[in-house]
Structures are given as C-alpha cells and as structure tokens.
Chain A
Amino acid sequence: GAGVSQSPSNKVTEKGKDVELRCDPISGHTALYWYRQSLGQGLEFLIYFQGNSAPDKSGLPSDRFSAERTGGSVSTLTIQRTQQEDSAVYLCASSWGREYNEQFFGPGTRLTVL
C-alpha cells in the first residue's frame, strides 16, 4: 500500500519568506509526527498530532513554526520568515495511534534557506 508521502521533496527559499510543507500520512493512521534532521542537531522531534489536535508541540523551535492537521489526515508545517538555521530535512511520520508504536516515515522535504 501507499506509504507516507511528503511534498515538495525539495524546497529552496530566500531568507524571510514563508514556506509550507505537506505530509500525507498512511490512510487510517491517527497519529502524525513531524521531525527535522539537520547536520548540527541530528533527528529532533517537532510536534505530534492525535487526530486533529496536537497534544505535544514541545519540539517547535520558535513561534515562527506552526502546524495543523485537517480531517485527521493531511498535515501542513508552516515556517514563517525563514532563517538560514531552518535549513534541514523535515520528516513526517504516522502510526496507528498509541497502541501501535511503529512509526512509518516519509522521504522528507529538504529545505534550503538562502
């Protein structure tokens, strides 16, 4: 079946611009996660959704970062006024929910802020 998909696969933007990254989880997965991976920080958690609500936003690095999830499915991660330190690969994962903890990861979106 289809896995987690993310778009775009690559995004180059100028400092100060806003960007939106999209994640389509596996159908039926109620839990959705955003992570990012950068050279200096490794793989770090950003935000967790259960359905459309986000009980854990503790990993969002600043108020320039926000995310939403609609219909218990697609999620969008928005970064406002991008900075060069936002350059990273943004990874999305989904899982069945609390009882099933295998997380399925998408291929990621590589964001480059010039």
Chain B
Amino acid sequence: DAKTTQPPSMDCAEGRAANLPCNHSTISGNEYVYWYRQIHSQGPQYIIHGLKNNETNEMASLIITEDRKSSTLILPHATLRDTAVYYCIVRVAVEYGGATNKLIFGTGTLLAVQP
C-alpha cells in the first residue's frame, strides 16, 4: 500500500472549516484514499473514502487532486467533538484470492479544535 504523509498536528477554530492535507505521491491507479479518525480513548471511526472524484457525506468532504497524489479532508464546521487524530490511508478497496483488507495506519494528524 502507498505511503502517506500528514502533518503531525493542526489547530482549527470552532465553527470554522478544518482542512486536513494528505500526500500520497506513490498511489496506484487501483488504490483508494480512506480517512478514519480516532477520538481519545475510542476506537477508530470511518469518515469517508474516494478513488478520484470528490466525495461528500454527512461527516466530511474529500477533495482528491487530479493527479491523485494528494487529498484534503474537509470538516465544514468543526466542533470541539471533532478533536481527534485523523488518519489518511491509501489502499485497494477490494482484494481477491484470500488477500486481506487490513488497514495500515500511519501517525495521522492530531486536530485540535479550539473554542
């Protein structure tokens, strides 16, 4: 799976948009970009994933550059409850032949939402 690079930490004011970047310059054509987050003392939580088109759901938006070498997770109106470590993971969505769907977590970005 492709390696990802994220800033170790970011701050965001409550109510403002949080934009979390991720670089994945070695991504392959069949690899998706996934985002998970982990709030303190909880298990990771899926946020969103995409291949090449921008995606939006009730939690966030995912913007993937045209060359797919980087992406940005956008939380449109950050709240204090969004303070968490955000993980960008790049991997194939479906593997066959008994292969695994394991997630390989990097170090993520600690997003601190300030009141």
Contacts and interface: CB of A to CB of B under 8 A. Distances in A.
Interface string B90-115: 00011110111111111100000000
B46 A107 contact: no
**Is chain B's interface secondary structure helix, strand, loop, or mixed overall?**
loop
Which among B32, B93, B101, B106 has the highest number of chain A CB atoms within 10 Å? B101
A79 to B, nearest CB: 19
A91 B93 CA distance: 21
B105 A44 contact: yes
A105 B105 contact: no
Interface string B43-65: 11110010000000000000000
A103 B96 contact: no
A26 to B, nearest CB: 13
Nearest to B106: A42
Interface residues of B, number: 24
Given A43-B44, A55-B98, A91-B43, A101 B93 contact: yes
A103 B103 contact: yes
Contacts of B96: 98
Contact of A105 (B34, B45, B98, B101): B45
Interface residues of A, number: 27
A59 B34 contact: no
Interface string A85-111: 000000101010011011111111000
A98 B95 contact: yes
A42 B105 contact: yes
Interface of B: 32, 34, 38, 42-46, 49, 87, 93-96, 98-107
25 contacts: A31-B101, A35-B105, A43-B44, A43-B103, A44-B105, A45-B102, A45-B104, A50-B98, A55-B99, A56-B102, A58-B100, A91-B44, A95-B101, A98-B96, A99-B94, A101-B32, A101-B93, A101-B101, A102-B46, A103-B44, A103-B101, A104-B46, A105-B42, A105-B44, A105-B45
Please name the 5 residue pairs, one residue from A and one from B, whose CB atoms are nearest each other, closest first.
Answer: A105-B43, A56-B100, A43-B105, A55-B98, A45-B102
